[in-house]
Structure 1
Amino acid sequence: MIMVQAAGFSDIGKVRKANEDCFLLNEPNGLYVVADGMGGHRAGGIASRIAVKTIDACMTVQSRDSSGEDETRPPEEQSSAAKRLLQGIFAANQKIYEQSIADKSCRGMGTTVSALYLTDNSIITANVGDSPIYLMRNGEVENLYTPHTLLHERKKIPKSLEGRFSSGKLSHILTRAVGIRSDVRPNIVETPIFKDDIIVLCSDGLSGKVSKEEIRDLVYQNDSEAACRKLTDMANQRGGEDNITVIVVRIVSANGGADKSWFGRILGIPEWIGSLFGGK
């Protein structure tokens, strides 16, 4: 079993008239989600709420797999837990897309989704869009997401448009979102879980104003709830032009985490190899 200290907070910001972000903390199931909606006439808020509720419902219905079948799977194959998380995102995409077709006021709505699912042995993250997921481990910051933006995927920019947009603008143009098409392609990451890991999920209303190094420093200096408040205040102090949402999840204890982390660091080998020794 793992123990966590988690908190989340969402703020409308200083400019927007509505908050189209939505977030979820389902600590009993180890599920945490941030969704940043987009679309006219509050449709973005509808999309983000549908995404969060659908993923939560799907993951609640499906119990965690304790049969041990994942222990012998090839390293490159997704775990059953990761597949369930992906199924939740697929279901959310279908619901949002169907409502956007049925309701003219919701036409074209969509949302980013960044989700964290904790098992006894691993951190599983999945994302669509540009809402970041950061892992703080041993004082360093690692991305556990892939930004689906034109800045990150420059090869998708038509040649006729090259040079017409600044890097700042390209970073806000999404190449993927949940609900805008009948299908969706999330990115997913699985990594071993260790005691004292901290995972931060947020919308770009925070990441666009506060660097990931500043986020790291604040979450190390504060408990989860205080860190959420202080990060939100910092984003608002720097303009607050967008909605701001943040979740901070701190791993208080994890099975065998200390031994596995020590083993990998001492031998200088990848952690997934070290996790095969010296602990569950």
Structure 2
Amino acid sequence: MIIDTHTHLYLPEFDNGGVPAVRRAVDAGVAEMIFPNVDLTTIAPMKALHEQFPSITHMAMGLHPTEIGEDWREQLAAVREHWLDGTQHVAVGEVGIDLYWDATFAEQQMMALEQQLQWAVDSAKPVIIHCRNGLDQTLEVLQGFHDITGVMHSFGGTDRDVDRVRSVADLYFGINGIVTFKNSKLRHTLPAITTSRLLVETDAPYLAPVPYRGKQCESAMLPATVAHIADTLGLPVSEVERVTTANARTLFSLPH
């Protein structure tokens, strides 16, 4: 049994609203899935897919950093209304800093992240953090939230990056298909993360793990990543499944 802590099966890349993809995931041994939101347009399809599988899927609400633009305040206010509308969300997310494609709105991304971290604090919920080419800025914002809980989603950093994150907040690290890539250095970072702060994810439809490279990623592929992590750490697959499932239930307050 595994929990995919980060998957976007509700996106239009998946047929029939993602329903077949969820069923394939369950058949592959993925017991539960967490759907982080992206922007205002993804809320309705995310909710629709969750409503099809309410006992095995969970939602997070937030505004993705690449969606931050001139009208970010209005966008964020609208997303916040959904955060407060009484729907059950297990986390704030996904939120963060992404300067890979464009750094034009770096300052606005930092302000949006700060506001959404405050949502998490106010509601005693964890946060799902997206960080790409923006670790310095992410940690600068996190400095004001030492008691925050959450996960560095799609983590691909070094031992030093792990230490830098831990010096600011005691976060988990979400590991996905990146760890299986031929030239990935992430396998050398896994021991520094330790299994006590390890989560597994797909980030579907992106980052399909080996041996599925070149195909559209989906949650059913998660066992390949888990097997690679187990091999790297010299652990049984069952142990990686057990500890990452327990970690996910703890962080996101999922029922056992």
TM-score, normalising length: structure 1: 0.29
Higher relative CO (Cα under 8 Å, sequence separation at least 6) belongs to 1
Greater strand fraction, Structure 1 or Structure 2:
1
The structure where helix makes up a greater share of residues is 2
Which protein is bigger by CA-based radius of gyration? 1
Q: TM-score, normalising length from structure 2?
A: 0.31
